[in-house]
Structure 1
Amino acid sequence: MKKVNLTEVREFVFQGFANFQEHQLTLFVVFLALYILTLTGNVIIVTIIRIDHHLHTPMYFFLCVLSTSETFYSLVIIPRMLSSLVGMSQSISLEFCGVQLFFFLGFAITNCLLLAVMGYDRYVAICDPLRYNVIVNWRVCGMLTSAVCATGFSLSLVQAVAIFRLPFCNSLIEHFFCDVRPVLDLACATPMINDILTLIISLLAITAPATFLFISYVLIISTILKIASAEGRKKTFATCASHLTVVIIHYGCASIAYFKPKSENTKDQDQLISVTYTVITPLLNPVVYSLRNKEVKDALRRVLGRKSLS
C-alpha cells in the first residue's frame, strides 16, 4: 500500500504567483513585453552577425551562439509561465516537468560555459594578440561550442534523471516552473546523494567558469594597464566591457539562486530571484551588446542603411 501511495503523484500544480492574484494580468502584460523584447533583441543580434561580414569573427560567433541559446532558454520557461498567469494551465504532467527541467538546466549550464569561452576569447585577443588567429581559429571555435553544449546537456540529463527517480508525495510546486529545488522539495525524501549531486553540478556550472573568468580578467586588466596611451587602454577595455557586464549580472544571479542556504529560502524571495534569471537576464544579452558595443551598433546602421537604399 505504501508503494502505491508513493507513485500516485503524476502531475504537479504551479503555485508560483498565488500571492499576486489581483496583479496577475499586470504581470502577464509586463512579462509578455519583456519576452517579446528578448526574442526580438536576440533575433536581431543573430541576424546582424550573420549578415554583416565585419562581425564574422570568433568573438561574434560565440555571441551568436549565446543569443541562440538564450532564445531557447527563455522559450522553455516564459510561454508556460504566461499561460499560468492567465489561468490557461496551472498543471504540468510529471513527464513534461522532467522535460522542462532538463532543457532549462541544459541551456542554463550551456550559457554559463559559453560566457567562460567568450572570456577565454577576450583573454587570448588581448594578452596574446599575435597568436590569436592561430589559437582561436574556426576549428577551435566549433570544438569549444560543441564541448560546451555537450557538457551542459550531459550534466542536465544526470540531474534530471536523479531527481525524477524519486517518489513524490506532494503535487503543489511553490514556483512558476520546474526548477531543481522546488521539485526536490516535493519528494517524499531527498537522499543525500541528490543534494551532493546538485552541489557538484552547481560548482561545475557556476563556480568553475566564474573562477576561470576572474583569473582571465585579472590577466586582461594587468595587460591593459601596461598599454602606454590612455586612449589605447580605453579602446582595448571597450572590447570586453559588454562581456564583463553580462558576466557579473549572470553569475551573480546564478550564485544567489543556487548557493543560498536552504534555511534562508522564502517563497517570495526565490520567485524574485527566479524572475531575474529567467526573464531579466536573457534580455540583458541583446541590450548590453547592442547599447554598449560600438561594432554591433555600426553593423546595425550598415544593415539598416542598405535596406533603406534598396
Structure 2
Amino acid sequence: REAFREENHEIYNDLLGILELVGSHLKLVEHPPDEIVPLLRRTGELSTSLRFLIEEDDDSYVYWVERRGRGCFLQATPIDVSRLLTERLFDRVDTAVLTSATLAVAGGFDYVQKRLGLDHARTLIVAGHFDYRKQALFYVPPHLPDPRSPGFARSAATEVTRILEHSRGRAFVLFTSYQQMRLVYEAASLEIGYPTLLQGSGPRRALLEEFRSTPHCVLFATAAFWQGIDVPGEQLSCVIIDKLPFAVPHDPVVQARIESIRRAGGNPFYEYQIPQAAISLKQGFGRLIRSRSDRGVLVLLDNRITKQRYGQVFFDSLPDYSFTTRIADVESFFDV
C-alpha cells in the first residue's frame, strides 16, 4: 500500500479535493431539492471511504487493489469479523438466532463459532427430513489423476461424458475455476449427446431458465451457481464437482487469514481451509436434493477425499449419502 500511495498520491489528493469541494458547495444550497440530499451524503461517504482505503493503517484489515478490465478497485475487508459482529450486532440484541443447512463441520459448530465470535452460543443440529441414503448416491471415481496435475482436465472430461450418458444429461457440472471449466467443456462438449450451456454465454438468470426449460440439459458453471439455485424434480438429477473447493490461496483475504492464524500459533489448513472447503462442498451438493421426491447422483472428481487423512472431515460434514467408487453403481441408480 505504501508503494501505491507514493505512486498515486497526486491523483488521490486531486480526487479528495474534488469530493470536498463538491460537498462544500452542496452545503451552501439553502433549500436543497430532494435529489441534493443523497448526493451530499454520498460525497461524504466517498471521501471517508477513500481516506480509509488510502490512509488507514489498521492491521485488522487487509487492503488490496483489484484490476478488472479498464477499471481499478480499491478494496478492504476485516481479517477477523468476530469483533465487528459482536460490537454491531450481538451486543445490541437480547437474542440472536442463526440458522443454516450447511454451517456444521464434522458434526459441530466449532469453526463457525470461532469465525463469528460466538463463544457462549447454544447449538443444535436438527435431523433433516430427506432420506439421503435412498435419494442420493455419492460417487468418487478412484482412477482420476490429482486435480492439480496437467492431465486432469482431459481425464475429467472423459469421466464427465461417461456419467452424463448414465444420467441422460440433466446435470450441473460445477468448477472451482473458470480455466478448468473451459478446459473440460472444450474437451467434453462435442462428445456429450445432450444440450449444453456454458456460464458466460449469457446472463445467469437466462441460463437457468434455459436449463429448466430444456430437457436433458447440462450446465457447465462455476461458483456463481453453487448457492441460491433451486431446480426441483428430474430436470436436475446429477451434480458433478471438479475438485475439493479449497479457497484460492493467492486471494488477499485468504492469505491474510492464513497468516493471522499462523502468527497465533494455529494450523490454518485444518482450522480454516478445510472447514471452509467442507461448507462449500455441502453448498454445491445442496443443489441436488431439494424435496422428498428428488433423486440424483453427486459426483466429486477429486479422489483426495478418499486418499488423504483430511478427507474424513468432508465425509463427516456431508449428509448420510450412499457412497460408491464404482461407475456401475451410478448406472444402476439411474436404471431404477
Larger Cα-atom Rg: 2
TM (norm. structure 1) is: 0.24
TM (norm. structure 2) is: 0.22
Q: Report which of the two has the higher share of helix.
A: 1
Q: Report which of the two has the higher share of strand.
A: 2
Higher RCO by CA contacts (8 Å cutoff, separation 6 or greater):
1
